[in-house]
Copies of this chain bind each other. A is one copy, B any other.
Amino acid sequence: MARVSAPDTAASRRGFLKAGLAGGAAFASALVSARAGAAEAGGDPAITEIQDWNRYSGAGVDQSPYGMPSPFEKEAVRRNVPWLTADPVSSVNFTPLHALDGIITPNGLCFERHHAGVAAVDPAEHRLMINGLVEKPLVFTMEDLKRFPRENRIYFLECAANSGMEWRGAQLNGCQFTHGMVHCVMYTGVLLKHVLAEAGLKSSAKWLLAEGADAAAMTRSIPMEKALDDCMIAFAMNGEALRPEQGYPVRLVVPGFEGNMWVKWLRRLEAGDEPWQQREETSKYTDLLANGKARRFTFTMDVKSVITSPSPQAPIAHGKGPLVVSGLAWSGNGVIKRVDVSVDGGRNWTPARIDGPSLPMALHRFYHEFDWDGSELFLQSRAVDEKGFVQPSKDALRAVRGVNSIYHNNGIQTWHVGTDGAVENVEIS
């Protein structure tokens, strides 16, 4: 091929576009659309016509001091289920997992769960108090907290009630609704142990009460062993200040533990010798078994996975041939060691490819690529974590736990893929 100089190339580009307009079919007949199974391009008007974005200058650098997604991505948003609760200030919306890839959740799409709506906290007025079994009760401003050594860690946060509607059968048609109460960001903050040390924690302190500054004053008891291990007081997510609905200006990070304990708008930490038996750890966030007894303090989020594409909101649009199956896996016990994928409802399993950083208590992205022959599929994924825990079937889970609880459902999810590529939430035995 002859090398052409800059002006020549510009001319050849214009020529290429003109040729398309004049005799597109003939020119484009040499081009075939990529990947086996896809149709030939033919006289593709998109490649042979000059489009508006080639012709006119776009918006300038002064147009969006804080940028937003393309208008073509308007379906990639958080959604709530209006019938779930009486009022949206004590409800939940869902991360659009079907529209995302990789392991980082963008801040604007992290699911929300409030018990009294989003507290609109002024950081200059906000204080964090430490009291109880300490030598020296302390009050911190936000400026004070930023004077401790900082850490940056990527963690998933999952609501204990994620997949809660699935205990009683396949109910919600989309992974956004079945599994979308999870997100994963990089937190910046200070280790809780440094802040507690400043207050002079007494050796008799075995539990820590965390209280939020919202109107619900969300309050949970945390074992001191966990608090002194890896808990953080975080003030940034994905580089910027926490979002209001994620606890701005400061939240607790409790890696691997249920999301409700990651108290937002954190205003008080009290050291004590026993748990406080708050509403949110007795009436709520306990797992009611079939015999009427309840499992309590079930903090760790169990090993879990879900296929995010294809899924009911992300059907197969391209027909048979090469197909990328993409999904997420995570465990409160550490890193994911393995994910298997089945296309026949669990009769046969193939190891999936885990891609990207494998970090403890963070989301893991997996892929399974194969040639789809166009027949129906029953897609499943099954994760195994570093402690050897294996994600169970929904039936195995129900045999042990019954169906009274809405919490801690880590059962294997099944998607039925029809011959037309449409996907449905189903159960198979």
Contact partner, A76, options B30, B91, B241, Cβ 8 Å: B241
15 contacts between A and B (CB under 8 A): A1-B271, A9-B209, A31-B137, A53-B120, A54-B214, A60-B88, A61-B88, A65-B78, A67-B244, A67-B245, A103-B152, A103-B239, A104-B186, A106-B107, A106-B238
Q: Does A230 contact B (CB under 8 A)?
A: no
Contact partner, A217, options B54, B139, B186, B356, Cβ 8 Å: B54
Contacts of A62 in B (CB 8 A): 80, 82, 88, 93
Contact B58 A117 (CB under 8 A): yes
A68-B108, A152-B355 known, 12 other contacts, Cβ within 8 Å: A9-B209, A34-B140, A38-B141, A60-B89, A61-B113, A62-B88, A65-B93, A69-B107, A70-B248, A72-B249, A109-B240, A238-B238
Contacts of A66 in B (CB 8 A): 68-69, 77-78, 108-109
* A413 CB to nearest chain B CB (Å): 20
Report the separation of the CA atoms of residues A198 and B321 in the bound assembly, to the nearest whole angstrom. 15
Q: Does A153 contact B (CB under 8 A)?
A: yes
Report the separation of the CA atoms of residues A126 and B202 in the bound assembly, to the nearest whole angstrom. 64
Contact B31 A139 (CB under 8 A): yes
Contact B215 A55 (CB under 8 A): yes
Contact B67 A138 (CB under 8 A): no
Report the separation of the CA atoms of residues A10 and B209 in the bound assembly, to the nearest whole angstrom. 12
Contact partner, A30, options B137, B143, B150, B359, Cβ 8 Å: B137
For the complex of A and B, the 3 pairs showing the least CB-CB separation, nearest first, are: A60-B88, A58-B117, A152-B356
Contact partner, A356, options B93, B147, B186, B209, Cβ 8 Å: B186
Complex interface bits, A31-45 against B, C-beta within 8 A gives 1, otherwise 0: 111110010010010
Contact A150-B355, Cβ < 8 Å, known A57-B116, A215-B55: yes
Contact A240-B53, Cβ < 8 Å, known A68-B66, A80-B62, A277-B6: no
Contact A122 B60 (CB under 8 A): no
Q: Does A374 contact B (CB under 8 A)?
A: no
* A244 CB to nearest chain B CB (Å): 5
Q: Does A405 contact B (CB under 8 A)?
A: no
Contact partner, A61, options B58, B71, B80, B268, Cβ 8 Å: B80
